[in-house]
């Protein structure tokens, strides 16, 4: 990539790579399988999934920024407690913010907004990345992770809404004769759709891992 040459001579990840890390290579939903509870519970529709993703991204970015700023002041022994306090503060902010912006979304997401506090992605990023890196890098990494999380949620939410209700963003996609797969918007559907996505990625990986010679042979025939 052209942009990755912005900081030459850096042996760590460049800023762009830091950003892309969470979107593809370390995608929190599909690769690391972290923070599953909100992913499955909220993804009954594309709108819910998107708003949950954005709320989580905000908390993630804000708290990693603060953690990274304070990384040299926080004593080692109480770091987890401090991180959780920081995260809880921002979640409270988001909770009131969503309530002020849209009561409908607030009611749809319910307790899961407050449950962002215990989303393992955020604590994981604070502990594994922000506590060791300067603010800019941490924020970029958090942005990437947040985007990856939102994409994962959206992938799940849209599939569940299309199959379960025949709609996307509330707009009917199929004719009136479409029979919705109600099970998709019910709890089991969440497990099935996520399982199916993971299957798809496993399959893609296994195809990539096949020897190049075999692929070349396939191309020739």
The nearest distance, CB 214 to another protein, in angstroms, is 16
194 binding another protein? (CB under 8 A) = yes
Window contacting another protein (CB under 8 A); options: 15-23, 64-72, 92-100, 136-144: 92-100
Q: Does 100 bind another protein (CB under 8 A)?
A: no
Determine the 3-state secondary structure of 167 from DSSP: strand
CB of 105 to another protein, least distance (A): 17
Would you say 113 and 91 are in contact if contact means Cβ atoms under 8 Å apart? Answer: yes
x/- track of binding to another protein for residues 164-193 (CB under 8 A)? -------------------x--xxxxxxx-
Binding of residue 60 to another protein (CB under 8 A): no
Task: Pick the piece of the chain touching another protein (CB under 8 A) from 99-107, 116-124, 151-159, 161-169.
Answer: 116-124
Two structure tokens written together for 56 = 């989580």
**Minimum distance between the CB of residue 157 and another protein, rounded to whole angstroms?**
14
Give the pair of three-digit tokens for residue 171.
């707009």
Among 13, 54, 74, 118, binds another protein (CB under 8 A): 118
For residue 162, count other CB atoms closer than 10 A to its CB: 18
User: Can you read off the two tokens belonging to residue 103?
Assistant: 């009561």
Per CB under 8 A, 36 contacts another protein = yes
Tokens encoding 127: 């502990």
Query: Residue 97 interacts with another protein (CB under 8 A)?
Result: no
Segment interacting with another protein (CB under 8 A) among 16-24, 35-43, 58-66, 156-164: 35-43
Q: 167: which strand partners?
A: 172
C-beta of 19 vs 98, nearer to another protein = 98
User: What minimum distance in Å lies between the beta carbon of 215 and another protein?
Assistant: 17
Task: Mention every residue, 6+ apart, whose C-beta is less than 8 A from residue 8.
Answer: none
Strand, coil or helix: what is 81?
helix
Helix (H) or strand (E) holding 137: helix 135-165
Q: In sequence order, which ranges of 21-119 are alpha helices (DSSP H)?
A: 36-42, 46-69, 79-101, 103-109
Q: Is 18 exposed, middle or buried (0-12, 13-18, 19+ CB in 10 A)?
A: buried
Chain residues binding another protein by CB under 8 A are 33-34, 36-38, 40-41, 80-81, 84-85, 88-89, 91-92, 95-96, 110-111, 114-115, 117-120, 123, 183, 186-192, 194-196, 198-199, 202-203, 206
């Amino acid at each position: 990539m052209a942009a990755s040459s912005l900081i030459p001579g850096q042996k760590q990840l460049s800023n762009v790579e830091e950003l892309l890390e969470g979107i593809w290579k370390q995608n929190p939903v599909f690769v690391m399988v972290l923070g599953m509870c909100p992913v499955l519970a909220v993804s009954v529709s594309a709108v819910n999934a998107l708003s949950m993703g954005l709320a989580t991204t905000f908390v993630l970015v804000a708290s990693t920024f603060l953690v990274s700023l304070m990384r040299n002041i926080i004593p080692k022994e109480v770091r987890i407690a401090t991180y959780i306090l920081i995260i809880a503060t921002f979640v409270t902010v988001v909770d009131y913010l969503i309530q002020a912006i849209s009561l409908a979304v607030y009611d749809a997401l319910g307790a899961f907004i407050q449950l962002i506090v215990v989303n393992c992605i955020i604590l994981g990023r604070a502990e594994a990345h922000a506590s060791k890196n300067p603010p800019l890098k941490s924020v970029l990494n958090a942005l990437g992770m947040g985007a990856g999380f939102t994409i994962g949620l959206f992938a799940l939410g849209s599939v569940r809404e299309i199959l379960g209700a025949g709609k996307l963003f509330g707009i009917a996609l199929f004719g009136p004769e479409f029979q919705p797969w109600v099970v998709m918007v019910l709890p089991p559907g969440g497990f099935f759709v996520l399982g199916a996505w993971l299957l798809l990625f496993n399959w893609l990986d296994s195809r990539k891992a096949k020897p190049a010679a075999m692929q070349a042979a396939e191309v020739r025939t």
